[in-house]
Amino acid sequence: MIKYVLVFLLSAAAVLFLSSCNDNPTAVGLNLLQKDYVNLKQLDSYKDSLKQVSTNVSYSVPLGSANSIMIGKKDNVQASALVSFNGAIPDTIGQDIINGNASVTSSNIVFYKTNVYGDSNAAFDFSVHNILNSWDATVLDGGNASSLSYDPVDISSNQVITDSTISFQITNSVTTGWMKHLTDTNQASNYGIYITPGSSSQKVVNFQSISSGTTGETQLVVVVQKSGVYSDTLYFYPSHYTTIVTGSLPSVPTGEIAVQGGLVVNSKLWFDISAIPKNSVINNATLVLTEDTLASIKSSSPINTLTLYKLTDSSAVAYDSTNPPVVISLSGNTYSGNIASFVQSWVDTGTNEGILVQIFDQIDALDLYSFYSSNAADRTLRPRLTITYTTRN
């Protein structure tokens, strides 16, 4: 009996539910639909002729945290390297050096090439100088390079330049002073060497900075002899290093902007997105930059990658460290990526300071990327921002 009652109740409930359904929604249902209704829209800087602005900005950056050092000259830039060597000296040898009972008979430095900016067959020469004052690799850059003091005398000799290395001897008296200082800090000084390109240099070479214990590391090899007692070979490795890059803004064709490493040159981009309502949700925002590959100058092993930051102050070139940067890579002759998080922030806050564009490895390379700007004669080549967004009624 109970079974039949349950079946009856379920059947009645089903009939009641079906009878309540209607192809024409009630007033309450219609209000709910209208409240949740979503408008999908698109804003395209090209199709909608949005106002946009692109400019270049250059500023000095310390390069002491780079993975390499750079030496040479090309076009608008010059790169000079500073290296200070350190290492363990046996007490006996150190005291013999200080007391004049042992002498340095050979001081050879080897740098291993990793990259070349410019024609690899172009001329390359350099001079080496003893640094006379202390320096901080985290502070020194092209903007304050005048604080560096060095002996103008070239202390190098027997320079050998191959496809993979450069090597040279330095004056033994300089190395002797360093070893005295490493043994007793009250003795002499050890500020390292300053390597600057010669007048005939027409390329910039990257060298591996430090990687102690592996093949290909920069090293100073010193031979010390005590007559009739010993002849020892000691190895020293960079304790700190940096590159000073100086120069002017790169020359690119009219209607183009540039980004370059080392110097450093960045680009700023701004699009007028005021047409997007404040309550909008940004679904996608694709930025496309078109490169002029003929105007760009890249090293022998370019990364072909850009980093985009959301600017918080375009005048001071300050960017939002809490908003993750967007990394975009080359495909054909364009770089593209989704900057939806940037645009969402602009819409939500009502503040749009634009985008900062820089090369991904800007402290490790001098590569120059030239892009068509907001003023390019051909509008199809200008930076393009396509935004897909939704709004609620």
Q: For the chain, give the percent of residues with pLDDT over 70.
A: 89
Residue 13 has a pLDDT of: 41
348 belongs to a structural domain: yes
Please check the confidence at residue 7 and state whether its pLDDT lies above 70: no
Give the pLDDT band of residue 192 (cuts 50, 70, 90).
very high
Together in a domain, 188 and 214: yes
Whole domain around residue 172: which residue ranges?
68-247
Mean pLDDT, the chain, whole residue set: 89
Together in a domain, 337 and 383: yes
CATH number of the structural domain spanning residue 376: 2.60.120
Together in a domain, 128 and 166: yes
Least confident range of 30-44, 47-61, 277-291, 334-348: 30-44
- The last residue of one of the domains, among 217, 247, 277, is 247
Residue 323 has a pLDDT of: 85
23 belongs to a structural domain: no
CA distances, 96 to each of 19, 177, 304 (Å) = 107, 13, 53
Together in a domain, 87 and 118: yes
Please check the confidence at residue 389 and state whether its pLDDT lies above 80: yes
Are the CB atoms for 313 and 353 separated by under 8 Å? Answer: yes
Together in a domain, 213 and 284: no
Give the pLDDT band of residue 36 (cuts 50, 70, 90).
low
Of 73, 189, 165, the residue nearest 114 (C-alpha): 165
Mean pLDDT, to the nearest integer, of 342-357? Answer: 96
H or E stretch covering 290:
strand 281-290
110 belongs to a structural domain: yes
Residue 2 has a pLDDT of: 38
Please check the confidence at residue 20 and state whether its pLDDT lies above 90: no
Residue 211 has a pLDDT of: 59
Of 122, 129, 125, the residue nearest 171 (C-alpha): 129
310 belongs to a structural domain: yes
Please check the confidence at residue 386 and state whether its pLDDT lies above 60: yes
9 belongs to a structural domain: no
12 belongs to a structural domain: no
Give the pLDDT band of residue 12 (cuts 50, 70, 90).
very low
CA distances, 262 to each of 36, 76, 78, 243, 314 (Å) = 52, 11, 10, 8, 21
State the Cα torsion 172-176-179-185 to the nearest 10°: -140
Together in a domain, 93 and 205: yes
> Which residue reads 């007028």 in tokens?
272
Together in a domain, 48 and 142: no
On the 0-12 / 13-18 / 19+ scale of CB atoms within 10 A, 231 is exposed
Are the CB atoms for 259 and 357 separated by under 8 Å? Answer: yes
Together in a domain, 318 and 173: no
116 belongs to a structural domain: yes
Mean pLDDT, to the nearest integer, of 341-353? Answer: 96
Sign for the pseudo-dihedral over CA of 294, 298, 301, 303: negative
Please check the confidence at residue 29 and state whether its pLDDT lies above 80: no
Do the bridges between strand 326-331 and strand 384-392 make them parallel or antiparallel, or are there none, so unpaired?
Answer: unpaired
Domains: count for the chain: 2
Amino acid (1-letter code) at residue 196: T
Together in a domain, 220 and 290: no
Q: For the chain, give the percent of residues with pLDDT over 90.
A: 83
Together in a domain, 192 and 298: no
Residue with the larger pLDDT of the pair 372 and 5: 372
Residue with the larger pLDDT of the pair 159 and 7: 159
Please check the confidence at residue 388 and state whether its pLDDT lies above 70: yes
Residue 283 has a pLDDT of: 97
Residue 392 has a pLDDT of: 75
Mean pLDDT, to the nearest integer, of 223-246? Answer: 95
27 belongs to a structural domain: no
Residue 209 has a pLDDT of: 80
Together in a domain, 166 and 120: yes
Together in a domain, 50 and 174: no
Pinpoint the alpha helices (H) of 167-239.
172-183
Q: Tens digits of per-residue pLDDT, 62-102? A: 999 998 999 999 999 999 999 999 999 999 999 999 999 99
How far is residue 328's CA from residue 377's CA, in Å, rounded to a whole number? 25
